[in-house]
């Protein structure tokens, strides 16, 4: 089973989903802006991605500036809590298969999971 954390308004997310479908994969689609992941789910995703919370932040979002997320003193848990509160801060798409995950930036990254 493959899961995609998807935002249908994002071109990279749409391209990643289309690429999966072209490969015959029908992923479980989580529209994370409508059903945001909780802190435990985000921690699990970060572990599968092998990156820090800071690496998953969308730095161009208003919520990034409004919450002063460039502050290097913010902890991993604080950043995760802010991503739960403001899911637009989460980089997308995230594609998960088993204990591995990749960011679909570029969309071709997901081919290593197929």
94 and 101 Cβ atoms separated by less than 8 Å: yes
For the question of residue 39 being annotated catalytic, the response is no
Q: Is the dihedral of CA 98, 103, 107, 109 positive or negative?
A: negative
- 68 vs 1, 56, 62, 74, CA distance in Å? 37, 15, 10, 9
Q: What is the DSSP string of 37-97?
A: --HHHHHHHHHHHT--TGGGB-TTSHHHHHTTTT-TT--HHHHHHHHHH-GGGB-S-EEEE
Catalytic residue among 10, 81, 84, 113: 10
Q: Which residues are catalytic?
A: 10
């Amino acid at each position: 089973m493959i899961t995609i954390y998807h935002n249908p308004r994002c071109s990279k997310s749409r391209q990643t989903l289309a690429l999966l479908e072209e490969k015959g994969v029908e992923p479980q689609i989580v529209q994370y802006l409508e059903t945001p992941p909780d802190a435990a789910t985000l921690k699990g995703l970060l572990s599968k991605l092998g990156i820090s919370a800071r690496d998953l932040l969308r730095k161009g979002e208003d919520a990034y500036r409004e919450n002063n997320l460039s502050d290097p003193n913010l902890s991993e848990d604080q950043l995760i809590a802010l991503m739960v509160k403001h899911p637009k801060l989460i980089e997308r798409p995230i594609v998960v298969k088993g204990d591995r995950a990749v960011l679909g930036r570029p969309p071709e990254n997901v081919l290593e999971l197929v």
